[in-house]
Amino acid sequence: MDGFENRDRNSFQTHEDPSGEDRSFENDQSHYRYKVNPVSQPYEDRYDDLKTSSFYNEGYKKPGKGKLKGLLVPLLIVALISSMITGGLVASYFTFVSPSINQPEARNGSSGDNIVPENTDVKRVEIVNTTETPVVAVAEKASPSIVGIAVKYAYSDIWFGQHEGNGQGSGIIYRSDGYIITNNHVIEAAMDGDSKNKISKGSSIKVILPNHVDEPYDAVVIGRDAKTDIAVLKIDLTDLPAADFGDSDKLKVGELAVAIGNPAGLEFMGSVTVGYISGLNRSITFDDGKSMKLIQTDAAINPGNSGGALLNASGQVIGVNSAKIYSGGYEGIGFAIPSNIAREVADSLIESGYVKGRPQIGVTIDLRFSEEIAKMNGVPYGVLVLDVSPLSAAFRAGIRPGDIITKFNGASVTSFYELEAEKNKFKAGDTVEIELYRMPEKGKPSDGTYKTVEITLDEDQG
């Protein structure tokens, strides 16, 4: 490296030179001194070597004797300026390497350990002091509020009898008195099929706090809602660090998004991933036919993240992580339930055990009915009613099994999901009109008639 090094004030700078003289200069900023050590061959001969090397070109000017000091000064000025940049936040140390090859060993017996490989510019940057990024602040604020969910469930099969399974997910401390928000699908396997909020025999749900990982707490289910995939658990503790919730309606595409949860289980508890808000109000239909409007993000969301938090730059929960696209060729497409929906559902579950105000018609739909079947039978394509619940809104309005619902409050519907979407625009107690096609009791289906009935929606307490 020709012995050249940049240091702080009053440090020494050395450079090889054939004269062997000590030279120094100083200004009002620093004092520089460089010592010139004899080399193993005259400078003129070294220049001749350069002329034949691959680094020689027509623009190269032969340096004259006594010019070395003039070459060194600009480098020292650059080094001095770089030490003043950013007020000392970053201290930079530069090593300048001349474009030479086969540098001879010094006559003083130097081993050549300090020789830098040919044509190499080395820049070493030392971070002296930095300002923390927003992600660090978000993680420090929100991480104590993100918990682990451990689920043990019992199941049986016809060949081997009773078995035990395990699952893990994430949760968010919603209230300091022990209420935890998570996904319904995280705990669903442990639930009793005959009771909405009862844990089945032989199953358990435990909450693991980040500061007490070896001391899981038994949880009870306060309420759960499959339609929004939100569930609320309760543990017998107080003074918990409740998360700060933000307004998901104010989100904008491109905002910072930080996901915190337990991907791959509790071994990676509290993992932080970072991305952006990629999209809003994404309509996603799952394998079970359930459709939801979700926040899309490219922050990594993996199995075990479900029920964890999606946060904004202020460390506020703006979504509950729920799903991602698993498919070859796709990466970074994850989804979260908007925080405003999660809060509304959680408050209702805590208060009454179900989502209050949700409308219900009172019919069971035959999902086998298709456009092809409708054409074959000469009937309109719509939503075929398979059954009507006794004393329900549909029963009171005179809707019968076999009726085909074609419009809900003026909007055409051809599937259960379209009917659900239109119905959910209203609340329990609202009155709407339903247009339906009724087949005659006897005769051809094509002889049926259209009817319009008025229906007052019930409250869904399921």
Query: What is the DSSP annotation of 312-350?
Result: -TTS-EEEEEEEE---TT--S-EEEEEHHHHHHHHHHHH
At the top level of CATH, which class does the domain 359-459 belong to? Answer: mainly beta
CA–CA gap between residue 413 and residue 361 (Å, rounded):
14
Q: Which two tokens stand for residue 388?
A: 């009507």
- CA angle centred on 367, ends 364 and 371, rounded to 5°: 130
What pLDDT does residue 326 have?
A: 59
Spatial separation of the C-alpha atoms in residues 305 and 248, rounded to whole Å: 19
Question: What pLDDT score was predicted for residue 126?
Answer: 58
What is the C-alpha R_g of the chain?
A: 36
Question: 412 CB contacts (<8 Å, ≥6 apart)?
Answer: 406, 418
| pLDDT tens track, the chain, 462 positions | 444 344 333 333 444 444 444 444 444 443 434 333 333 344 344 444 434 333 333 333 444 444 444 544 444 444 444 444 333 333 333 333 333 334 444 444 444 444 445 555 555 655 555 556 889 999 999 999 999 999 998 877 777 767 788 899 999 999 999 999 999 999 999 998 777 889 988 899 999 999 888 899 999 999 999 889 999 999 999 999 999 999 999 999 999 999 999 988 788 899 999 999 999 999 887 766 677 889 999 998 888 889 999 999 999 999 999 877 655 667 788 999 999 999 999 999 999 888 888 899 999 999 999 999 999 988 999 999 999 999 999 999 999 999 999 999 999 999 988 898 899 899 999 999 999 999 887 666 667 899 999 999 999 876
| pLDDT recorded at residue 10 | 37
CA dist 193 and 196 (Å) reads 7
76, exposed or middle or buried, with CB in 10 Å at 0-12, 13-18, 19+? middle
* Nearest one of 446, 357, 358, 361 to 408, comparing CA atoms: 361
Instruction: Work out the angle at residue 350's Cα, subtended by the Cα atoms of residues 346 and 352, and round it to the nearest 5 degrees.
Output: 115
Contact 270, 262 (CB under 8 A): yes
CATH 2.40.10.10 fits 248-342, yes or no: yes
Angle CA 123–63–35, to nearest 5: 60
**Helix H or strand E encompassing 128:** none
- What residues does CATH 2.30.42.10 cover in the chain? 359-459
For residue 189, give the DSSP letter.
G
Pairwise CA distance, residues 260 & 299, whole Å: 10
Let me know if 363 is exposed, middle or buried by CB neighbors in 10 A (0-12, 13-18, 19+).
buried
Alpha carbon 350 to its chain's center: 27
Residues contacting 93, CB < 8 A, separation 6+? 6, 124, 125, 126
At residue 98, the pLDDT reads: 32
Q: Which residues does the annotation mark as catalytic?
A: 185, 229, 306
Kindly report the number of other CB atoms within 10 A of residue 227's CB atom.
16
Query: Rounded to whole angstroms, how far apart are CA atoms 384 and 247?
Result: 39
Task: Give the count of beta carbons closer than 10 Å to the beta carbon of residue 82.
Answer: 15
| pLDDT at residue 71, rounded to an integer | 47
Residue from 223, 196, 219 nearest 148 by CA: 219
**Tell me, what amino acid is at 428?**
A
Location of each CATH 2.40.10.10 domain in the chain: 143-234, 248-342
Residue 326's identity, in one-letter code, is Y
CATH number belonging to the domain at 143-234, selected among 2.40.10.10, 3.40.50.2300, 3.40.50.920, 3.40.50.10210 = 2.40.10.10
